[in-house]
Structure 1
Amino acid sequence: MGERAETTFDLLLGTEIRAARIEGLLRADPVVAAQWRAEAAIAEAVASIGLDDVQLSEADLLVRIAESRAQGADAPAVEDALAVLRFLRAPGDPLGDPVGVLSRIARLARRDTDADETPAPAEELVDVFAGVRGRAPVLEALRAAADYAWRTGRLSPVAERMVFVAAEGAARCAGPGRARGSRADDPLRGLGGRIDADWIALPSLALTRGRFRSWSPGNARGARDIVEGIAVVLDQEIGRVIAIRSWQEAVKRAGEGRHGRSRLLDAGRAFGLEPVMTAAILASRLGMTPRGATNVLVELEGRGLVQEITMRRAARIWATPGLAAKLAGARTTGTRARARLDGEKPPVALGEGEAPAGGLRQRHLKEETEASVQRALAEFDRSLAEVDEILARPVARREQGEILAHRTRT
């Protein structure tokens, strides 16, 4: 391998290590995992649509859900973001049920394409997950996305990114049968319910946080941009993990010394696993009346453990502080959402995950020829072979030691 290839491999190895570090923290604590993925999924959904040159903010999702009627010129884009969000929250099992996962991705692709373009049948695409074996999740996800992009003629970049997410999460499970599906009873259309996913690296955030790069997994420069961006994002996410842990400690302190009938601690724990809820949802989770749930929510809000993000008398929604900052604005929580819900023009601001004005159009990118994609796939395979060699060394040394020990005994 040449000098640049070695440098790229070192970059990839460092990114894999960063992702493994966060994966370890999340596997050790389901509350941290639920909140971290809930926040990241919302940012990724908005960023994925933003890569198509449609400016959205996380607050737009809240407005769309809180309002029961369609309004605004960006309503279709918000619906697309919500569809992506629902997939991110529960990608399914691409190893045990590749047709099911690819069929869901095809529905996202149809939202992203013209009426006269039809995605290939899912049964013809199942091989895109054939290389997902848990050796190097980020690299395997890149290869799957590039393969899907080539097989579908770059029909839907959004769908390609969902293939990346599904493959990356599946690689961390190291086998089929892990992921299941989304809750059918979520009245918040993707904001609520429990997360059922294993992904760590998110491709759209990698290309839009702090910069803007085009999504192009099928060529060397595009793949390197994705890996570099993932490394940057993962370094930043450690701070968010620490903030969620601090929230957990605050919940525990709030529950100390409470009398036996208090549901404050139970409510805090419920928000740990479902960071966005209404009073009705919380009442259902805890087996209490909506009025009792509202009283507990008011007490949690007074302690700074949750925040109301709609600021309305009806259809009120609460969220943990991290998600409240995303959905209603980090500096003036509730102000942007309240302005949109009341029909006022919101302040113009470029939120995390939004594309800058005049950003690059992502749909129907045809610049990657079959030869260039085949070169990229071959390079992915060479890198995976090198990973296999590295992983095999400890096994080979152990087997060699066992052989020598046997010879010594005999």
Structure 2
Amino acid sequence: MYRQLGLSAEVGAARTLLDGTVTKKSLRPHRHDVLLAVVGVLSGLVMWSLGVYSSSQRTYLPAWAALVPLAVLGAMELLRRSRPSVALTVGTLGVIANEFTVGSLITVLIFTDLMYAAVVYGSPATARRLPISTGLVTVAVTIGFLAWLRTPQALLIGVVTGLVSFAPALTGATLRNHREAAEAARLRAEQTALLAEMDRSQAVAAERARMARELHDMVANHLSAIAIHSTAALSIDRADTSREALGVIRENSVQGLAEMRRLIGLLRDAGAGQEAVALPTLDGLDALLGQARTNGSGSGLDFVLHDDRPPGEGALPAPVDLAAYRIVQESLTNALKHAVAGTVTVRVARADGLLTVAVDSPYGHRTGPRAPGSGAGLIGMRERAELLGGEFSAGRTGGTWRVRATLPAEEKAVEA
């Protein structure tokens, strides 16, 4: 999932931090760990040379024996990040061995840091277990020494044990929890920002697709008529034909320019002083078919409208009304481009909460001038129907090319 959201690199680094896993590059000691090791060992050597021991009464081993655990734990400081469990295990053995010598306080302090590092940089399981296990050890040591020595001073042994083991483990667990919470919050914020950007990109893409459909449906009709009649004027060298074609070309040029201006008005900010522009509806089908008759007169096409919608029905939802109009408009444009001479029939019906639009045009081999098609019109009609939850089909049936769209006619259906 993280890789799909584009966060794989950062999430991988976060999981390396939280899970305690490392790469080959991280096996090199961190410069801070090297500094801790050097300072710790040098401090222990200084205190040993000054004769400062944690227990000078242990004389069964020579004094220099205290330097061995010190050196071992100092070396483990180099592994506190890359191998925290190994460092803690060896460090535990080292601090136990330290108790059989004159003892070095620095060795015990280094052990507390190894305990802390094991919780902070170790695996999640280790980080969960160490505070609990060290707490239990502290309690067991306290009770054991109380039962053995039977003096209140035995409590000090338990306190020291807790300070050496339980306190650093608890501190490391607290710090790790804060780090994990901060990292999780950061990742959630990045995911939220990325999802918001994806939503924005999808919204922009959807708006661009809508604008493309609108531009195609508004202008393609006029440009197709211009292309057909200009081709006819060039191929038929008669003055009356050229004059008629130029008239149609001029009319469609003016109407296409008006449609472009209307689209520009829709795209402009309302705050720039642009007035709201009324969107076309099915009530304008008569005018649309009248324009189609003018444009298709030279191709032997006639256009007939059958509006079977019951009178008194409520108004259609605005998106449905516009989509139905555009589907009829594009179907008429395709008929002007490709249909043979004959009658193009447009039927509109409304029943059972559905609006049905069907356009039948004569299909066959056309010998006269025709405008090229790109297929974008059929794609746009299908998109309009599917976006509203409707159905669309287009294809040849015998000698007829039929376009049929079924759209929801109820407001609730469109909103859903």
TM range, smaller chain: under 0.3
**Greater strand fraction, Structure 1 or Structure 2:** 2
- Which of the pair has more CA radius of gyration? 2
